[in-house]
Chain A
Amino acid sequence: GQQVMQIPQYQHVQEGEDFTTYCNSSTTLSNIQWYKQRPGGHPVFLIQLVKSGEVKKQKRLTFQFGEAKKNSSLHITATQTTDVGTYFCAGRETGANNLFFGTGTRLTVIP
């Protein structure tokens, strides 16, 4: 069955440093979504990538979808304490409706 691996599992950064989390799928995806879950909260949608090689930016966040549509990354520039939380990627196979979530990367930002 499909698996979505995400690394690293944990990341501690000093405020102002950059952060990147990587997502790899065992199968080709039709699209990939990213979610953020604040401590004690629930996953909140950030973005969806559909096209091969697509890059999207949201302020300090940059999302990439690999050329083969099997991997993705989220990069945060100059982290802030408000970036704290767990970031999940979630991939959808072609023709499928359900999402396969990665294990998540828990980001801690040290002030």
Chain B
Amino acid sequence: EAGVTQFPSHSVIEKGQTVTLRCDPISGHDNLYWYRRVMGKEIKFLLHFVKESKQDESGMPNNRFLAERTGGTYSTLKVQPAELEDSGVYFCASTRDASYNEQFFGPGTRLTVL
């Protein structure tokens, strides 16, 4: 079974530019989560999809972040326009069942905003 994949692995952009991150969850996993880890800090929850619906987006920092999961398969997270404080590692995770199951994490996308 293929794991969670994320693209790109690294992205370096300038402040004000737009970046789109992609996550492909494990096949059959309806639940998809986005997290962000800023250097040395906790892994912070951003939002949770159940299939194509946003179940919880309470962790999204502001309206510069837009997450989509059209068709309930892969998800994208767009940052527009990017700011310096958006730098960090963005992780995606998926689970088949949202309740009490381990989350399978992708390798992450390291975003650097200059």
Residues of A within 8 A of B (CB): 4, 6, 9, 31, 33, 35, 41-45, 48, 50, 88, 90, 92, 96-104
From the candidates B43, B48, B107, name the one contacting A88 in the complex (CB within 8 A): B43
Q: In the complex, A41 Cα to B55 Cα: how many Å? A: 27
Q: How far is the CA of A100 from the CA of B42 in the complex (A)?
A: 9
| Other-chain contact of A97, B41, B56, B91, B108 (Cβ < 8 Å) | B56
Interface residues of B (CB under 8 A from A): 31, 33, 35, 40-45, 48, 55-56, 58-59, 91, 93, 98-100, 102-108
- Say whether A42 contacts B102, CB under 8 Å: no
Contact A101 B48 (CB under 8 A): no
| Residue pair B59, A98 in contact (C-beta under 8 Å) | yes
Closest to A42 in B: B105
A104 to B39, CA, bound (A): 11
